[in-house]
Amino acid sequence: QQQVKQSPQSLIVQKGGISIINCAYENTAFDYFPWYQQFPGKGPALLIAIRPDVSEKKEGRFTISFNKSAKQFSLHIMDSQPGDSATYFCAASANTDKLIFGTGTRLQVFP
């Protein structure tokens, strides 16, 4: 019930391509869905987040798509760049409670 399932585990994309990472959850009490970016040796940094009252949120090249009925949300990175190479984590929380993280996706963008 408390799990957040993330896929794929790793992703290789060519520069300029679209990177898509998917997450699914079970707990309908979750009301906050952030995505974090983590570079090696660093802490996770908040990238973008969404609430379940909207189906999409866009910030620059990063877009979250949210499907409440399917209990799924995804991160799209448009025009992927080598500097985007990092590990991406989805997460969820209920009522500002602790974050439940997915297992991470290692993204590599090749020139």
Q: Nearest CA to 16 among 66, 76, 78?
A: 78
| Contact call for residue 104 and another protein (CB under 8 A) | yes
Is there binding between residue 102 and another protein (CB under 8 A)? yes
The neighbouring-strand residues paired with 76 are 20, 63
CA 73 to chain centre: 8
- Beta strand pairing call for 105-110 and 10-14: parallel
Min dist CB 16 to another protein, Å, is 28
- Comparison of 62 and 101: residue with beta carbon closer to another protein: 101
Q: Report the residue from 20, 76, 99, 108 that binds another protein according to the rule CB under 8 A.
A: 99
Q: Is residue 84 helix, strand or coil?
A: helix
Quick check: 1 binds another protein (CB under 8 A)? no
Min dist CB 89 to another protein, Å, is 6
